[in-house]
Structure 1
């Protein structure tokens, strides 16, 4: 088991199960402290390589993932690994796509889909999940 994120570290979201996941903006430097052990990078083009295991999910800014089935697989894997690893979800700005993915993780963790966006906005970033179609994506996210 890897040392977990510090629960009060910037960008760390505690899911109802107790799993900790960090959201962040790829445009900003990596925050101080431990590095992720697993990441899902949500970007329209392939993001720069990082020295930890990272998976690219093609997801253009202000949009939805190109492949929703692949998104479900990667997000389930991230949720599973968050029980024992430092998992990071990141996009360019750390709000829209990242917030949407974090809300989907909350759904996997048991938060009702119609409450997941509010959960992420309350516990991660008040402006997370930026577009109406991102909110709709979360409401219809299936396990």
Structure 2
């Protein structure tokens, strides 16, 4: 999918069927130790994890922000990148919203954009929505 600034990124769920097309150059994955143990062996490209419990927020806000900004930089430089959590909705939608703020949207516009372009339930919780606002203000 194309972000509002034209940068391409794939958002998906690790627990969903494997997507068609080539493997990414880089992936940013959102979850805890259990999700990592379940999927890390299948990810044979460069990748990083953000410790981010389901329905909650990253455990290291500043570190997560740095990784999300770096993901945008890789995508802007032409790398094929993806972001994924287990279901591909809440945490993934939250990161896609954060990426949209890097494209120039306000936090509210970015959440609406993710819901219209990724999944209608993107950014599932009120605290995830507030976190997008925090991300945009940094």
> Does TM, normalized by the shorter one, top 0.5?
yes
Determine whether 1:70 maps to 2:63.
Answer: yes
C-alpha separation between the residues in 2 aligned to 1:139 and 1:118? 13
Q: More helix per residue: 1 or 2?
A: 2
Give the gaps of 5 or more residues in structure 1: 1-12
TM-score by length of 2: 0.90
Whole-angstrom distance in 2 between the partners of 1:112 and 1:26? 28
Q: Which residue of 1 aligns with 2:53?
A: 60
Instruction: Give the aligned partner of residue 10 of structure 1.
Output: none
Q: Aligned residues, how many?
A: 131
**Which residue is equivalent to 1:121?**
115
- 1: distance between equivalents of 2:8 and 2:24? 11
Tell me the TM-score normalised to structure 1 length. Answer: 0.87
Q: What residue number does 2:133 align with?
A: 139
Which residue is 2:104 aligned to? 110
Query: Aligned partners of 1:22 and 1:109: how far apart in 2?
Result: 16
Unaligned runs of 5+ in 2: none
